Structure 1
């Protein structure tokens, strides 16, 4: 069977718990002792009285600040329900390199394999249905497909900058279309963003008035027509960096620079509402633009320390890389921070929930493939367990979710309601697409 059932506990029908908010005022701020509703379908036995939240309004910005607690009242875990993928067997269940996954409203799963340049399609039970695409330049084929997503009407859109187009499949069997766009020869591992209005957001490098190539987002409407061109979100923040220079015998100067490890950075993504989700990772402050202003999400958090061993590892790696271009260079820039940025990435679920990929304490493992003659190889690797904070679209903090061993944050998981679809990799390197259920408290 291509579908791997999980434990019976993961297959239960979960009860729904709902609580009505109790409000009280503290001066000009509004504190919510409990927020609702709790995530539909998630197995949860929250403890305590819910989160302590302060809501402020500053101009057109509504600030939702969680001081303590969560709606769930306990940490959640991901319990596997089913998996697609095998070490051997029918080729329809063998993956080379999965670079994107998508899920539609019926639970159908789409898997983009970079090596084969095709999309495998499976039903909600993980049974193979069909293959879309294939390597080539003809109709329905891919040259360098990177990412895909499902539009509200059920059509699958696949970004293929190699063919300078978006390939569109569906919504009916055998239906196909293509939308051309100029990518500026830009390739990226980022997800393909779409919104509830059926718009698709594409990365493209466009020349400005000075002739420089500048990153933009080209917005296509539901029919593939370009309806807008937006500059890539940016910040005035300039992360600290180290820089090495050398001048050759002819007076020509070359330089290499690198951002200091564990420095804060500006992060952004496109929310299903069609607005930008942005944040500077040095503090727990996330902005979701809205038609009438901004929703700002803040939360009290404890800084994650960087061990001396991990700092030394990153320092040595940076020095080693720069010395490939500037031999003899040694660290002469800002010191490496002793705490990690609050978060690593900002993501959104199909339901509009906000998933914050958090920094966590890392642990080291020996690198069995270490090659001292390879400057890109190190004797140990540092692993950060993947952990998320989850917020409702209105800023309500639901709680934190931990992930099991083998869970991969790339390609981007799919989040919706009480389920997560993600790629996992086992000790043999075999990739599988797994459907998980979010379970609060003890999964047993």
Structure 2
């Protein structure tokens, strides 16, 4: 978009004030601060329409040149040898608690990276975890720590010293805990995956899943409705019964995150994020402009060639044959991830790039920022980012990076 002149900027501001006085619509643009934003009210719901930031623009926020803390080791045989890390959180006292699902443990490390304690373990008893869990770890009101054990259909609560307090039962239809709200409520969803009783013909399928909020005792507090699950390539037998399937590598799904006292849900078919209150009411809809391009067959071929490149010839050919009839999706997903930080900003990761679009607490786009390379982000604080990486040997590390913000005026 071309930049307006000084006189043009004045005209835009006058027009915005006029619109506000007659139609409760707020239009704002600043040539130096970012893209245009239009805010309007629709039956009590705030609708925030944003232009896309320029692809080469970046927020004046900076990460450190290297991690300030890195937890992980090669063959140490100690707690810092990590395996299948699924999540991590930083506590108010500076400790970092890691969900090490490969050993079904929570591992706590001091602010200097030294091992403090290990909690949980494999089993079905109080405070123990089964299968690929814990999947989520987060602070809980009262200086407690919560960890999710979905296959055990419960959320386990520990005190600050790691003593198990109680378990919160999870609804069997809402086992996918997305995140925990500051008040102790639980943001969760169903699976939305393939179902054994499906019938049809081979191709792309997509099941809906319910999203909701549970209270601190595991009781359904509010249903947020059904949203589309992930797109699968499903293979059906001649009689219409399901034989098998796999997620489409470019498939669309639904993403969610806690956003301050709200929960945000975005369906990847379009760049739109809906924010709900804990009573289930829709509070805000945030949109960002931009056309969605479509992948080509060459993109799909390249993906699978790269994925199976290291397999023995026979296995590689077999795997490629299994996906040779996989259809293309209509478009690339609009985004790949949603997170919010502890300052109330919403971060939405661009698909196929390292850049995130950052929105302020009201849903106004602020600009683009790139997180440290190859870092899978778990948590963003006011002055740090916490995430997970692995090296060429497959060794896992949980890293803390500093974040310096210069809030755009």
Give the TM-score taking structure 2 as reference length. 0.72
- Match of residue 424 from structure 1: 389
1:343 matched to 2:335? The reply is yes
Instruction: Please say if residues 91 and 139 of structure 2, whose CA atoms lie closer than 8 Å, have aligned partners that are also in contact.
Output: yes
Render the CA deviation track for 1:30-53: whole Å, top value 9, x for unaligned.
22235xxxxxxxxxxxx9244432
Judging changes above 3 Å, is the alpha-carbon distance between structure 1 residues 252 and 165 closer, same or farther for their aligned structure 2 residues? closer
Judging changes above 3 Å, is the alpha-carbon distance between structure 1 residues 94 and 256 closer, same or farther for their aligned structure 2 residues? closer
Deviation of 1:126 after TM superposition, in Å, equals 2.3
- Match of residue 99 from structure 2: 112
Equivalent positions of 1:171-210 (< 5 A) are 171=160, 173=161, 175-181=163-169, 184=172, 191=178, 193-201=179-187
1:85 matched to 2:72? The reply is yes
Separation in structure 2 between the aligned mates of residue 217 and residue 424 of structure 1, nearest angstrom: 29
Equivalent positions of 1:13-412 (< 5 A) are 24-26=14-16, 28=19, 29-33=25-29, 48-67=32-51, 69=53, 74-75=58-59, 78-79=63-64, 80-89=67-76, 91-144=78-131, 145-171=134-160, 173=161, 175-181=163-169, 184=172, 191=178, 193-201=179-187, 219-222=213-216, 225-228=217-220, 230-231=222-223, 233-235=225-227, 244-247=235-238, 256=244, 262-263=250-251, 265-273=252-260, 275-290=262-277, 293-301=282-290, 303=292, 306=295, 309-313=298-302, 331=325, 335-337=328-330, 339-360=331-352, 385-409=353-377
Instruction: Please say if residues 24 and 31 of structure 1, whose CA atoms lie closer than 8 Å, have aligned partners that are also in contact.
Output: no
Separation in structure 1 between the aligned mates of residue 224 and residue 357 of structure 2, nearest angstrom: 25
Q: Give RMSD over aligned pairs.
A: 4.2
Instruction: Please say if residues 266 and 278 of structure 1, whose CA atoms lie closer than 8 Å, have aligned partners that are also in contact.
Output: no
Which among 389, 402, 409 is matched to residue 437 of structure 1?
A: 402
- Match of residue 203 from structure 2: none
SS of equivalent to 2:83: coil
Separation in structure 1 between the aligned mates of residue 78 and residue 230 of structure 2, nearest angstrom: 46
Separation in structure 1 between the aligned mates of residue 188 and residue 52 of structure 2, nearest angstrom: 38
Render the CA deviation track for 1:299-342: whole Å, top value 9, x for unaligned.
23364564653233458899xx9x989x99963x86544x5222
- Match of residue 4 from structure 1: none
SS of equivalent to 1:311: helix
Deviation of 1:62 after TM superposition, in Å, equals 1.6
Instruction: Please say if residues 261 and 336 of structure 1, whose CA atoms lie closer than 8 Å, have aligned partners that are also in contact.
Output: no
Judging changes above 3 Å, is the alpha-carbon distance between structure 1 residues 353 and 216 closer, same or farther for their aligned structure 2 residues? same
Separation in structure 1 between the aligned mates of residue 69 and residue 266 of structure 2, nearest angstrom: 34
SS of equivalent to 2:142: coil
SS of equivalent to 2:226: coil
- Match of residue 369 from structure 1: none
Deviation of 1:343 after TM superposition, in Å, equals 0.5
Render the CA deviation track for 1:255-299: whole Å, top value 9, x for unaligned.
556676535x34242424454312232322211124774322222
Judging changes above 3 Å, is the alpha-carbon distance between structure 1 residues 234 and 77 closer, same or farther for their aligned structure 2 residues? farther
Deviation of 1:252 after TM superposition, in Å, equals 8.1
Judging changes above 3 Å, is the alpha-carbon distance between structure 1 residues 336 and 100 closer, same or farther for their aligned structure 2 residues? closer
Deviation of 1:96 after TM superposition, in Å, equals 1.8
SS of equivalent to 2:299: helix
Separation in structure 2 between the aligned mates of residue 176 and residue 146 of structure 1, nearest angstrom: 17
Q: How many pairs does the alignment contain?
A: 360
Return 5+ residue gaps in structure 2 as ranges: 1-11, 20-24, 192-197, 199-207, 308-314
Deviation of 1:161 after TM superposition, in Å, equals 3.4
Judging changes above 3 Å, is the alpha-carbon distance between structure 1 residues 170 and 309 closer, same or farther for their aligned structure 2 residues? same
Separation in structure 2 between the aligned mates of residue 219 and residue 78 of structure 1, nearest angstrom: 33
